[in-house]
Amino acid sequence: MKPILVLSGTSAYTRALERALDHFGDVYQILPESGFTEYAAIQGFADRTSLVILDPASGGQAWSAIGRLKSSHETRAIPIVAVASKNDESDRYKLVALDVHEYFVFPFSRREFVLRCERAIDAYHEEKNWKDGVHLLRGYRQLAEQTHSENMEMQEILAAQEAVIELGRQERQEIDSIRTAQEAVFEMSRQELMVANEKLRQSYEAKLAAVREKGELQMMFGKYIAPEVIEVLMRQDGLQRLAGEKQDVSVLFADIRGFTSLCDEMPPHKVILLLNEFFTELTETIIEHHGIIDKYSGDNIMAIFGAPAELPYHEQAAVLAAIGMQEKFSLLKDSWKSIYRADAGLGIGINCGAAIVGNVGCYHKISYTAIGDVVNIAARFEQIARDGQIIIGENLRERLTEEFLSRNGLALAAQEPVSIRGKKGLHTTWTIRRERA
């Protein structure tokens, strides 16, 4: 699916529009108007489409497409550029009422057409990034409100407990005034009530502690690990595990190639937009494969698989995440080249083995991370990876079974041995990629 979608009209109209769109390279797709409804139902249409171009004078299909886009909150903001084969004042008024962004009539200035299309795409992406940020903040707010609600529930339970204890105290005062013969009977009842009270108090305190621990884990990790990982930590004494332990993990590094030159050539606000898009897309892929984000550093991502919650076959999860990241980045790369005139690449390195994992930092800033040779070697693999490559070492290669490679359509290729800082001799490396049909 390409970011610019064109609904075709007559053959002469389509050829003229193709000449005007040559500036955008191959990132546009011409679609028969009759097929728009089926095309718009494809999963990911709203996320991948950045601009729609159509001829309002071509008939009901074009107006139906405009109505479909404007009737859905998911597609309402996608910019529409009307390029009419003939000038119709009534059409122009209707398009303004429907909030269509631009209106051109052949013949027109190709340069103005290109600039207005680029401006519409930039404005759409800026608004989309802003809305995504608002949705994220709303999610955090809902999480905070949920935690507050659970704490209020615990306070109500504790208040009820205090009322029960007060009731027991009143009953003891009444028992003191009863005859000696009845005191033994009521004393037994009182003891049973006290035992039940104590069990109830311990149960409530345990539940309250669990809620508080879950809240702390959500505050600590909610931004960069999947919710199901938090649930696993809750079942495995999560906060205690964060103090530090030795664990078998896979570590992944990913870095944009050519980023320094992009920073020199692009305006600062576009650099930030590009980085936010890069981190959003690749972070989603990492979390989908049950990894956590260790840190962002400039244009670099470090991710851990297999900690803090143990993950069977974490090395396979890391490899599949890397494959997905390269596939997503290939789409980003085409989009950046068309929209930003930016030429960039992506290199990834992965290593697995024992590492020390836990919270590291000070009172002002603390973060969960991994330490050890497995991390240093993964970083070295990322440094030698060229654009489009995923570099792994012999240790990880031995863990990848033929069944796993075949099932996922993956292929390995040996590379030249490399030296690693702090290690003697040369070390064999491999590239892993998905075979194309």
Question: 360 or 248, which is more confident?
Answer: 248
How many Å is the Cα radius of gyration of the chain? 30
Could you report the per-residue pLDDT of 261-272, keeping only the tens digit for each?
Answer: 878 888 888 888
pLDDT above 80 (res 49):
yes
pLDDT above 90 (res 129):
no
Q: Can you list the pairs that 267-271 forms with residues at least 24 positions away whose Cβ atoms lie under 8 Å?
A: 270/340
Question: 194 or 108, which is more confident?
Answer: 108
Question: 145 or 327, which is more confident?
Answer: 327
Could you report the per-residue pLDDT of 271-284, keeping only the tens digit for each?
Answer: 888 899 999 999 99
Instruction: Give me the pLDDT at residue 431, please.
Output: 96
How far, in whole angstroms, is CA 36 from its chain's centroid?
29
Instruction: Give me the pLDDT at residue 223, please.
Output: 46
Could you report the per-residue pLDDT of 5-25, keeping only the tens digit for each?
Answer: 888 777 778 888 888 888 887
Residue ranges with strand state E in 298-409: 300-305, 345-361, 366-371, 390-393
Question: If you average pLDDT over every residue of the chain, what do you get?
Answer: 80
Identify the top-confidence range among 145-154, 184-193, 229-238: 145-154
Question: 32 or 252, which is more confident?
Answer: 252
Average confidence (pLDDT) over 221-234: 50
Average confidence (pLDDT) over 418-432: 86
Give CA–CA dist 407/409, Å, rounded. Answer: 6
How many residues are present in the chain? 437
Bridging pattern class, strands 390-393 and 345-361:
parallel
Q: With 0-12 CB in 10 A as exposed, 13-18 as middle and 19+ as buried, what is 352?
A: buried
Contact 366, 360 (CB under 8 A): yes
- CA-nearest of 230, 337, 330 to 281 is 330
Could you report the per-residue pLDDT of 108-117, keeping only the tens digit for each?
Answer: 888 888 888 8
Give CA–CA dist 40/30, Å, rounded. Answer: 13
The percent of residues above 90 in pLDDT, for the chain, comes to: 27
pLDDT above 60 (res 195):
yes
Give CA–CA dist 10/85, Å, rounded. Answer: 9
Confidence tier at 399 by pLDDT (50, 70, 90): very high
pLDDT above 70 (res 362):
no
pLDDT above 90 (res 326):
yes
Tokens of 310: 């143990």
Average confidence (pLDDT) over 317-346: 92
The percent of residues above 70 in pLDDT, for the chain, comes to: 79
